[in-house]
Amino acid sequence: MDEETQLSRKTVLKAALAAGVAAPVALFGGPALARTSVAAGAVPELTPECHDGDEPTIEQTEGPYFKPNSPERTNLVTPGTQGTRLTVTGYVFGLACQPVNRALLDFWQADVNGAYDNVGYTFRGHQYTNAQGAFTLSTIVPGLYPGRTRHIHVKVQAPGRPILTTQLYFPNEPRNNTDTIFDARLLMTVRDNGSAKEAAFDFVLNVPQTPTSTPSTSPTTPPGDTTWAVGTVYAAGARVTYGGQGYVCLQGHTAQPGWEPPAVPALWRAG
Ligand SMILES: [Fe+2]
């Protein structure tokens, strides 16, 4: 894939997801912004980026502490839980950088003292992505234990697809340099939020997708010649007129102010 195509795909992805993630970002104070470095005063990006290229997230060893049948929950913190509060947010994408709905994420980690609960299910839980491919995990920063750097274990699985087992890491950890399992490609973006921490990581699964297809959960507009209008849901292939010119939709999205066809070549081409 050439560079131009990659840039175009990324732009399309951002545009397509912008409407969907706007509410959660506002709701949770914007942990999704953590992945983007923003100069002071600049307008931050509100939407995630898929990994460049189509490389799936790498696999890592499961380790000795996985337990099946974890409870379904997004919050691993209970009253009395010790440790620095941590929120991990992100998206699960397929090979074409489109969100994977109902992907299963099963997290497990050590407690503040570096111990796993091998009797019960403390700091173990599974959840599913929403229609935007998004997930949120409320937990604590895991403690260290001998031989390893700080990490969170996770299994990720798109419906009907193989399980990806991997681990997520924290930047600026001294042991990252000596842990032989550590891989910088699995570093989360982490920032402070008061006394808590907010982390972000996006997974890419080996799930075939057609770059021009729309997420299965998106409503579609029947093809036809209509006048472009804000708020309309356009499917790939939809035809509109704007300013007397005809355009073909390249990627399903909900039209926003500023996304007029001539202004967003990633979403519309003349035709
Ligand atoms: Fe571990």
CB distance 144 to 150 below 8 Å: yes
Instruction: Name the class of domain 225-270.
Output: mainly beta
pLDDT value at position 53? 55
pLDDT-derived band at 71 (thresholds 50, 70, 90) equals: very high
Instruction: Please tell me the pTM assigned to this model.
Output: 0.64
* Cα of 9 from ligand 1 centre, angstroms: 35
Please give the structure tokens belonging to residue 171. Answer: 């930047």
pLDDT at 72 over 70: yes
* Cα of 81 from ligand 1 centre, angstroms: 19
Q: What is the DSSP track for the chain?
A: --HHHHHHHHHHHHHHHHHHHHHHHHHTT-GGGGGS---TTSPPP-S--PPSTTPPPPP----TT--SS--B-SB---TT--S-EEEEEEEEE-TTS-B-TT-EEEEE---TTS---SSS-TTEEEEE--TTSEEEEEEEPPPP-TT--SEEEEEEE-TTSPPEEEEEE-TT-GGGGT-SS--GGGBPEEEEETTEEEEE--EE-S----TTPPPTTS----S-EEE--TT-EE-TT-EEEETTEEEEESS-EE--TT--GGG-TTTEEE-
pLDDT value at position 151? 98
* Cα of 31 from ligand 1 centre, angstroms: 24
* Cα of 141 from ligand 1 centre, angstroms: 13
Please give the structure tokens belonging to residue 203. Answer: 């997974």
* Cα of 218 from ligand 1 centre, angstroms: 37
* Cα of 63 from ligand 1 centre, angstroms: 6
Taking all residues of the chain, what is their mean pLDDT, rounded to a whole number?
81
**Chain segment 170-196, per-residue pLDDT in tens:** 999 999 999 999 999 999 999 999 999
Q: Whole-angstrom Cα distance, residue 258 to residue 59?
A: 40
* Cα of 187 from ligand 1 centre, angstroms: 15
Burial 99-136 (b: 16+ CB within 10 A, else e): bbbebbbbbbbbbeeeebeeeeebbbbbbbbbebbbbb
Q: Is 138 exposed, middle or buried (0-12, 13-18, 19+ CB in 10 A)?
A: middle
Q: Whole-angstrom Cα distance, residue 19 to residue 46?
A: 10
CA distances from 74 to 23, 47, 78, 106 (A): 18, 21, 12, 10
Q: pLDDT over 90 for what percent of the chain?
A: 56
Where are the domains positioned within the chain? 50-204, 225-270
Higher pLDDT, 266 or 41: 266
Q: pLDDT over 70 for what percent of the chain?
A: 75
pLDDT-derived band at 88 (thresholds 50, 70, 90) equals: very high
* Cα of 25 from ligand 1 centre, angstroms: 30
What is the topology classification, in CATH, of domain 50-204? Protocatechuate 3,4-Dioxygenase, subunit A (2.60.130)
**Chain segment 117-168, per-residue pLDDT in tens:** 999 999 999 999 999 999 999 999 999 999 999 999 999 999 999 999 999 9
Higher pLDDT, 249 or 205: 205
pLDDT at 8 over 80: no
pLDDT value at position 230? 86
